[in-house]
Amino acid sequence: MNAEELKAALQPFFDNYDEIGISVYAILKSQSATEPKKLDIEAEALLGLKAVFMQSLREEILEREELAVLNLSTSDERTNAIYVYDLEIPAELATLESVSESDDFALLDLAQCDLSDIKALLIEIGNNVGQIVLYKTMAPVNIFGRASFFLKKSRHRLEQINDEFLRVSAGFQMMQINGELLVVDLHALERNFGFHEVITREAASGIAAIESISIIENPEVLHELLDEVKYARRFTKVARSSPVLMAKVPNASIIEFCRRFPKLTGKIRFNDAGNKIVLDTKLSKDLFIKLLMDDFLTSELTHYHYESVAKDSAEEVGEAAQE
């Protein structure tokens, strides 16, 4: 799915705004993440929630001119991107698909449950033709309990609020549409859902691919980086889409490139034989990963040297143009 396809998938929901409905489900802290509970919300409030989240979808996606949609496993570090989740899906995120396939969920009994037990909301928007399901975390600052004292405006005076209440703001972290799970807030994903374990397992194959070409003198240092989600994501990308590994570039060519490319010269060291790379600094590790992703470029026109994280294949672009 690319940005144009995502916007096209959303457009019918706006074209048929009055015909689509909304349901809201809660994921609780104290229960299995695979058992969402439906919230009983009055009709007028549901209409207000629909307006809030439809506007959020419009601003976050439809009206964003420079929107990139990338596979999570092969993503670069663009901050304005939405990521298609193409890895092992944790149980809690699988609830987005279950909600879109069925509405046979028990109601949340507010007499037996405090609002502070709510971990996240699932907002389902659509009809029997199609659905969007949004995942929204509920931070503690959005849940107001009985321990505090709150007043609300009532005509010309203030009245006490005697019960718990939620503040539901716009915005969401994940969404499900047309069978695709999309990540809108990458940082929220990295902090939750057991994602670190998922991405670490995927990243191990990236390290194995690097070790298989025997170009690193001290490959054990790569394993030490797996504790950081940032590096685990980078190794996953290496496993799935490293141009250098896919093209089977000879080790001698890689080492020669390291010796002569200005950004790498003097920053990556070699063993005494000169046939393997020694990764002995944080900078050298970062540069080596970028090297595997072919991020260091030289313009054929100006012969200037560049570092580019976000790039598209000229071969693919050319083929698309011919079609």
Average pLDDT over residues 191-218: 88
pLDDT of residue 155: 78
For residues 216 and 210, the answer to whether their CB atoms sit within 8 Å is yes
For residues 95 and 122, the answer to whether their CB atoms sit within 8 Å is yes
Asked whether residue 106 carries a pLDDT value surpassing 60, the answer given is yes
Asked whether residue 146 carries a pLDDT value surpassing 60, the answer given is no
Token digits of residue 294:
């072919």
pLDDT digits 0-9 by tens, 27-61: 888 755 568 899 999 999 999 999 999 999 999 89
DSSP state of 31: S
Asked whether residue 323 carries a pLDDT value surpassing 60, the answer given is no
Burial of residue 140, with CB atoms counted within 10 A of its CB: 0-12 exposed, 13-18 middle, 19 or more buried? exposed
pLDDT of residue 233: 87
77 or 285, higher pLDDT: 285
pLDDT of residue 42: 92
Average pLDDT over residues 1-20: 93
Sign (positive or negative) of CA dihedral 246, 314, 237, 194 = negative
Average pLDDT over residues 5-22: 93
Asked whether residue 164 carries a pLDDT value surpassing 60, the answer given is yes
Q: How confident is the model at residue 149 (pLDDT cuts 50, 70, 90)?
A: low
Asked whether residue 130 carries a pLDDT value surpassing 50, the answer given is yes
Token digits of residue 302:
């100006």
Asked whether residue 269 carries a pLDDT value surpassing 50, the answer given is yes
Q: How confident is the model at residue 318 (pLDDT cuts 50, 70, 90)?
A: very low
pLDDT of residue 158: 72
Average pLDDT over residues 11-33: 86
137 or 302, higher pLDDT: 137
DSSP state of 140: G
Asked whether residue 264 carries a pLDDT value surpassing 80, the answer given is yes
